[in-house]
Structures are given as structure tokens and as C-alpha cells.
Amino acid sequence: MIINLITQVKQISSSKVAGDSDLKALYLSGNGIEVVSEDAFRGRPLTLVDLSGNNLDEDGLKRKSLEGLDRRTLRYLDLSGE
């Protein structure tokens, strides 16, 4: 299953990612995302997370935000800027 949250999302939280246990990949490039909550990816066996082209800085994307990603399943992570 692939989810693209279009281009209107400014913040990612666990409630935005919750709901589908089959979720494996998040393509969120170019969404203008400014904040990723500390629990956004917790409990998700994601294989791909693409956050490229967003407005993330160290205030919006803290280390704890990424700790919820499982290194055993994650194969691709893109945090590159615009």
C-alpha cells in the first residue's frame, strides 16, 4: 500500500499514519512538511520513508522522530531538502 498525503500536510503525527497495518511505504516528498512528531513512525514496519523536498529543520525533525523507524525493516529514507 502506498500513501501520498498530497501537498497540504504541514505536520506528521502517529494519527496521520495510523489505521492500516499493511502500510509499508510513505511517499511524502514536496508536501511542505515542517514538523514530524516524536511518535509519528512508532510501531510501523515501514520499508520506505520519503520526506524529501519538505521544510524540515532540526526543530521540526528531532532525533526521536526517527527512533520509531525499525532499522530491521527500513530500506530507504530520504530527508533531503528542496
Span 5-26, pLDDT tens digits: 555 566 676 655 655 567 888 8
What is the residue type of 77? Answer: L
Residues 31/50, Cβ–Cβ less than 8 Å: no
Q: What is the pLDDT of residues 26-44, one digit of tens each?
A: 888 888 889 998 888 887 8
What are the domain boundaries of the chain? Answer: 1-82
0.85 cut: is pTM over it? Answer: no
Q: Which of 35-44, 56-65, 71-80 has the highest mean pLDDT?
A: 71-80
Instruction: Confirm if 61 and 79 have CB atoms less than 8 A apart.
Output: yes
Give Dmax over CA atoms of the chain in angstroms. Answer: 31
In the predicted model, is pLDDT for residue 82 greater than 80?
no
Residue type at position 33:
I
Question: Helical H runs in the chain?
Answer: 14-17, 63-67
Please name the helix (run of DSSP H) or strand (run of DSSP E) that holds residue 12, with its range, or none.
Answer: strand 11-12
Average pLDDT over residues 55-74: 89
